[in-house]
């Protein structure tokens, strides 16, 4: 197992986070969503594993519904086929909008992408950290994070779930909660040597 995957809706700040995690500066942000269909691999030089940035899913302006579906199918297939190599997953969400988006997309016969992905990773027994990004835009921090826990089926308060819920502000390089949570998962798998 030598791979950490990043998944999330487009525009949540995945590329920004990737740049912070890897320390590389060559990635461009704000690129047209949905274009990068193939996973990209990067080395986190300090450790013996790599990050894989999977394409963004969910709504993207200018991208057809069937293309969005195809992207999601690709992501699911990639994760299923590589589950044995995946150390951990980072599900990136936008702290400002995630609860509203989840609530808006929850109906009797469908569950929102983020929640679906969270359960899917759990089923595959891939340790998952939800990186709650853009916390600089969130005022009622604890309340918002508790609501998110609730929507993900985790019993609040969120502070009980520090290995799962990691509030960050990737744009400012404030990602220590995520790094701590990831380190805990790697430690549990004996990978912090
Ligand atoms: P991606 O589509 O998920 O790869 O998202 P990007 O990394 O391209 O970021 C999308 C937008 O969110 C850009 O305008 C970023 O500057 C912005 N962004 C990323 N991280 C943060 C953050 O922590 N706080 C705020 N306020 N904006 C952010």
* CATH number reported for the structural domain that contains residue 32 in this entry: 3.40.50.300
Euclidean distance between CA atoms 183 and 185, whole angstroms: 5
Residue closest via CA to ligand 1's atom 14 equals: 30
Residue closest via CA to ligand 1's atom 25 equals: 134
What distance in angstroms lies between residue 53's CA and the mean position of ligand 1's atoms? 15
Per-residue pLDDT of the chain (193 residues; tens, 9 = 90+): 778 999 999 899 999 998 888 775 444 444 444 434 344 444 444 556 788 889 888 777 788 888 888 989 999 999 999 999 999 999 999 999 999 999 998 887 778 899 999 999 999 999 999 999 999 999 999 999 999 999 999 999 999 999 999 999 999 999 999 988 998 888 787 765 5
Q: Does the residue 130 lie in any domain?
A: yes
Looking at the 3D structure of the chain, how many domains does it have?
A: 1
Domain housing 154:
3-188
Query: Which ipTM score applies to this complex?
Result: 0.99
Pairing of strands 3-8, 40-43: unpaired
Residue closest via CA to ligand 1's atom 12 equals: 13
| Residue 164, preceding peptide bond in cis (omega within 30° of 0) | no
Q: Does the residue 181 lie in any domain?
A: yes
What distance in angstroms lies between residue 83's CA and the mean position of ligand 1's atoms? 27
Q: Does the residue 193 lie in any domain?
A: no
> Which residues are near ligand 1 (CB < 6 Å)?
8, 10-16, 29-30, 33, 56, 133-134, 136-137, 169-171
- With contact defined as beta carbons under 8 Å apart, do 79 and 34 qualify? no
Euclidean distance between CA atoms 92 and 63, whole angstroms: 21
């Amino acid at each position: 197992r030598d791979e950490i995957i990043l998944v999330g809706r487009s525009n949540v700040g995945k590329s920004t986070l990737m740049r912070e995690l890897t320390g590389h500066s060559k990635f461009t942000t704000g690129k047209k969503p949905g274009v990068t269909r193939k996973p990209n691999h990067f080395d986190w030089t300090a450790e013996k594993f790599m990050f894989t940035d999977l394409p963004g899913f969910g709504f993207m302006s200018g991208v057809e519904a069937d293309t969005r579906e195809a992207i999601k199918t690709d992501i699911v297939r990639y994760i299923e086929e590589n589950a044995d190599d995946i150390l951990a997953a980072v599900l990136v969400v936008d702290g400002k909008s995630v609860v509203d988006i989840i609530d808006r997309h929850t109906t009797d016969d469908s569950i929102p992408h983020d929640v679906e992905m969270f359960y899917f990773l759990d089923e595959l027994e891939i340790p998952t950290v939800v990186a709650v990004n853009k916390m600089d835009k969130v005022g009622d921090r604890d309340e918002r994070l508790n609501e998110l826990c609730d929507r993900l089926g985790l019993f609040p308060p969120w502070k009980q779930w520090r290995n799962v819920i990691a509030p960050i502000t990737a744009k400012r390089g404030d990602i220590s909660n995520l790094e701590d949570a990831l380190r805990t998962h790697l430690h549990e798998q004996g990978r912090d040597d």
